[in-house]
Structure 1
C-alpha cells in the first residue's frame, strides 16, 4: 500500500515538474495554438490554403505566433509591426534559410541564390546577380527582348480575335514570362525555336510549372525525418529536378562551345561563364533561379490583375482611359510610358496586396538567438512571414478584402513595394529581399498595359464570372485558367 502511495506521489510530482517546465518554456516563446503530440502544429499548416488559415490563427494568437512543425521551431509574422521586427530590426539574425527539401533539390544542395545559407557564398552570388543582371542598365539593355516577345504574343492574340475564340491567358502569360526570361538567360525562346529545341523548351517550362505545384510547403521528411521515405512527392520532385538539371547542363555545354569559337556575351549564362569564378553546378543553380522565379512571379501577377479587372469593369474602363490619354488611341505602349501610368501602377500594387505571388514568403531561419518583444527566440528557429495577412490587415487597410487600387492614389499614395513599407512586402524586405524587383515590375507593367490598350476582353459565352479560387504552390495561382475572348480595341478583322 505504501509502495502504491509513493508511486502515485512520485508520478504526480513528475507530472507537476513537466508542466512547470513546459509552462516556463512556453512563457519565453510567443503565443501558440494548442499542439498535438509528436506532430505539433503540422495539422494546422497542412491546409489547402495555409496562408489563409494562419491569418485566421493570428487573429486569435497575435501578430507574432509560435508553431512547432514536427521537429522545426517556427515563428509566423502576420502583422506589419511583427514583419518589421523580424525583417528590419532583427534582419541579420533571420538572414539565413532552412536546410529543407526545397533547398536540397530545387536549390542545388543550397548552392543557389534563393536557398543558400547566409554567409560569404550567398553574398558573392547576390553581388554577381545584382551587378550583372538586375542593375538598371542591364534591365534597360533587355528592353528589345521584352518588346519582341510581346509583339509575338499580340500577333497570336490577333489571330484568336479574328476567330472570336476564347484564349487561355494563364498559359499565355506563363509562356510570355518564360520566353522573355529565357532570352535574357539562355538566348532562347519557344516563340522562335524550331523542332526539337522548341519541344525541349516547352518541356522545361512544363516541368517548372509542375515543380511549382508539387514543391509547395515543407515535405514530410523535413518535419518528421523518420517518415521521409513515405513521402511520394519527394520522388516526383527528384525526377523533375533531374529533368531541369539535364536541360540546363546541355545549355551550359552549348554555351561553352559557342564562347570558344566566338567569345561573345549574349546572355546571363555567358556572363557567368565569362566570369570564371563559379563552377558548373552554381551556374546551373543561378540560371535556374532566374528562370523559375522570374517566370512564376510575373505570370501570376498579370493573371490575377486581369482577373480582378474583369470583375471590376468600371476600373477596367478607367485604366483604359488613362492609356488612351498617355499612349494615344493609335499609339503603341512603350516602357517610357510606365512612370506616367499612375492608375495602372496602382492596379498592380493592389493586385500584389491581395494576391502576393508567394503568400508565405520564402522561409528564413535564425542564425543566432535573439529577443523579440520579450520573447527569447533560439538560434535555428524558422520564420514564415505571411505577406497575405499583411495585405489584409484590417487595422492598416480600409475595406481590406476589396479590390480598390484608388487607395494608392489617395490614402496610401506613399506606400511602395520596395520593402520599406511593411504593410506591403510581396517581394520581401531586408537582406533576403528579391533582387529582381525592378525587372519584374517593369515586365508586369509593360505587358499588362499592352494587353489592356490593344484589346477589349470579354468572358466566353455561358460564363458570367471569373473563378477567383486559388491553388497554393510555390506561387499562388488561380485554380482555373483565365479564359477570355479578345477583340481589337479599335476594330477586329
Structure 2
C-alpha cells in the first residue's frame, strides 16, 4: 500500500510539473507577442499544407487568398511560410520591413548549383551579399555596360528574324514556326554572348554542352525538392528520390564547363573587343579593395545567376506578349501602327527608337501584370520576429510574395482580368517606381 501511494504521489507530481511547464511556456509565448498568427487553412499531420501546392502553385495560392485574405500562414512540411497577395503588404515586406525580410532560405538546389548559395539571388543577407549586389549593379548591369552589348542584341535579333522568315517561306504561308523555341533560343544566344562572349553550338561527340547543362540546372531549380520542406530529413529523402544524385552530376558538369570558359578567358586578351561578364568578374576579382574576396566559385555563381535569371524570364514575356496580341487583334493593330510609323520615318527600327514606343511599352507592362515570369518571386526568410500588419511573423519564417495575385487584385486594378494596355496611360508605372502593384517591373 505504501509502495502504491509513493508511485501515485510521484505520478501526480510529474503530471503537475508537466502542466506547469506547458502553462508557463504558453504564457511566455503570449507575453512575448500578444498578436495573432495570420489566418490559415486546415492542414494535415506531417505534410501540413503541402497538398495545396499544385503544379501551378501561384494559382492555388491566389484562390486561397480570395478565401482567407491577402496574408495567409501555411506550414509546408516542417517550414512555416507566409504568403502575401496584396500590393500594400508587399510594400511592407519589401520596403517598411526590408531589414527583417532581406535574407533568403538556403534551398537545397541553390546550395549545390549556386556554389554554396554564393550568387546574389540566394546568398544570405550580409557583407558578401551587399558586395555581390554592388558588383552586379555597378559592373554587370550598369547603363554603360548594357549599352556596350547593343551590337550583340541587334545581331541576334536579325539572326532570329532571318530564321523566322526563312522557316515561314519554305512551304508557304501555312508553315508553322514554334515561336516558343525561337524566343528561348534568342534569349539563350544573347545571354551566352553577353555572359560568356560567344554562342554555344553543340559539336558532334561533345558530352558536356553549356546550354544543355544550364537547361538541366534550370529544371532542377524549379523542381520539387523534399529537403526544402523537411530540412531535418533532406539528405536521406533526396538521396532516395534521386534528386541529390542529379544535383551532384549537374554541379560537376557546371564546374567543368565553367572552368573551361574561365581558363579560355584568362588566356585570351580583351583588347580586340569589349568585356563580357566573365571578363568583368575576373577583373573585379583582382581588385584589392574588396570587403570579401571573390573566389572562382563566387565568380561562377554570379555569372550563372545573370544567365539563368535572364533566359526563361525573357522568353516567357516575349511568348505571352505575342499570345495576347494574337488574342486581341485590335491591340495588335495599334502596336503595329506605332512600329510602322517609326519604321517609315527612320527606315528601320533599332534600340535607339525604344523611347518612342509608348504603346508597346504599355503592352509589355500589361503582359507582365497578367503573366509575371516569376509569379511567386524568389522566397525570402525573416531574420527576426516581426509584426506584419498586426500579425506575428516569427524568425525563420519563409515568405512568398504572389505577384500573380497582386497583378489581378481588384483592389489595385480596375477590371483586373481584362487585357488593356490603355490602363497604363493613367498609371505611369516605370521600372524604378515604388508602386508595388507591378513587382515584376522592379525585381
Q: Deviations over 1:373-392 (max 9, x none)?
A: 22222221111000101001
Q: Deviations over 1:392-431 (max 9, x none)?
A: 101111221221111112x32x223435111110155xxx
The residue number in structure 2 matching 1:207 is 213
Q: Deviations over 1:303-350 (max 9, x none)?
A: 111011111111111100111112228832111211111110011001
Candidates 239, 261, 264, aligned match of 1:229: 239
Superposed, which structure 2 residues align to 1:5-84 within 5 Å? 21=26, 28-45=36-53, 47-84=54-91
1:418–1:425 CA contact under 8 A, matched in 2? no
Deviates more, 1:270-279 or 1:391-400: 270-279
SS in 2 for 1:269: helix
Please tell me whether residue 363 in structure 1 is matched to residue 371 in structure 2: no
The residue number in structure 2 matching 1:105 is 112
Distance across 1 between alignment mates of 2:347 and 2:74 = 54
The residue number in structure 2 matching 1:167 is 177
2:82–2:398 CA contact under 8 A, matched in 1? yes
2:376–2:401 CA contact under 8 A, matched in 1? yes
Distance across 2 between alignment mates of 1:419 and 1:74 = 28
Using the TM superposition, give the Cα deviation of residue 269 of structure 1 relative to its aligned residue in structure 2, in angstroms: 0.6
1:101–1:218 CA contact under 8 A, matched in 2? no
The residue number in structure 2 matching 1:415 is 429
Distance across 2 between alignment mates of 1:57 and 1:250 = 48
Using the TM superposition, give the Cα deviation of residue 141 of structure 1 relative to its aligned residue in structure 2, in angstroms: 1.3
Candidates 231, 246, 263, aligned match of 2:256: 246
The residue number in structure 1 matching 2:103 is 96
1:173–1:302 CA contact under 8 A, matched in 2? yes
Candidates 426, 433, 451, aligned match of 2:440: 426
Using the TM superposition, give the Cα deviation of residue 37 of structure 1 relative to its aligned residue in structure 2, in angstroms: 1.4
Using the TM superposition, give the Cα deviation of residue 28 of structure 1 relative to its aligned residue in structure 2, in angstroms: 2.8
Distance across 1 between alignment mates of 2:220 and 2:122 = 17
The residue number in structure 2 matching 1:307 is 323
Candidates 326, 331, 335, aligned match of 2:342: 326
Please tell me whether residue 405 in structure 1 is matched to residue 415 in structure 2: no
Distance across 2 between alignment mates of 1:105 and 1:206 = 17
The residue number in structure 1 matching 2:195 is 185
Deviates more, 1:148-157 or 1:346-355: 148-157
Candidates 146, 156, 167, aligned match of 1:149: 156
Using the TM superposition, give the Cα deviation of residue 167 of structure 1 relative to its aligned residue in structure 2, in angstroms: 1.3
Distance across 2 between alignment mates of 1:422 and 1:218 = 28
The residue number in structure 2 matching 1:436 is none
2:114–2:301 CA contact under 8 A, matched in 1? yes
Deviates more, 1:340-349 or 1:325-334: 325-334
SS in 1 for 2:300: helix
Distance across 2 between alignment mates of 1:339 and 1:263 = 31
1:415–1:421 CA contact under 8 A, matched in 2? yes
Distance across 1 between alignment mates of 2:402 and 2:346 = 43
The residue number in structure 2 matching 1:459 is none
Using the TM superposition, give the Cα deviation of residue 240 of structure 1 relative to its aligned residue in structure 2, in angstroms: 2.8
The residue number in structure 1 matching 2:295 is 279
Distance across 2 between alignment mates of 1:108 and 1:121 = 14
Distance across 2 between alignment mates of 1:184 and 1:388 = 30
- The answer for unaligned runs of 5 or more in structure 1 is 434-493
Q: Deviations over 1:200-253 (max 9, x none)?
A: 89x422333343334326510121232333333343333333323321111011
2:365–2:441 CA contact under 8 A, matched in 1? no
Distance across 2 between alignment mates of 1:353 and 1:416 = 13
Distance across 2 between alignment mates of 1:187 and 1:210 = 21
Using the TM superposition, give the Cα deviation of residue 70 of structure 1 relative to its aligned residue in structure 2, in angstroms: 1.8
CA separation of 1:26/1:55 partners in 2, compared to 1, >3 Å: closer, same or farther? farther
CA separation of 1:262/1:136 partners in 2, compared to 1, >3 Å: closer, same or farther? closer
CA separation of 1:128/1:200 partners in 2, compared to 1, >3 Å: closer, same or farther? farther
2:377–2:401 CA contact under 8 A, matched in 1? yes
Distance across 2 between alignment mates of 1:287 and 1:44 = 35
1:265–1:271 CA contact under 8 A, matched in 2? no
Deviates more, 1:155-164 or 1:169-178: 155-164
Provide the alpha-carbon RMSD of the alignment: 3.1
Candidates 341, 358, 369, aligned match of 1:342: 358
Distance across 1 between alignment mates of 2:434 and 2:207 = 41
1:32–1:66 CA contact under 8 A, matched in 2? yes
TM-score by length of 2: 0.86
The residue number in structure 2 matching 1:451 is none
2:140–2:280 CA contact under 8 A, matched in 1? no
CA separation of 1:168/1:330 partners in 2, compared to 1, >3 Å: closer, same or farther? farther
**Count of aligned pairs between the two proteins:** 417
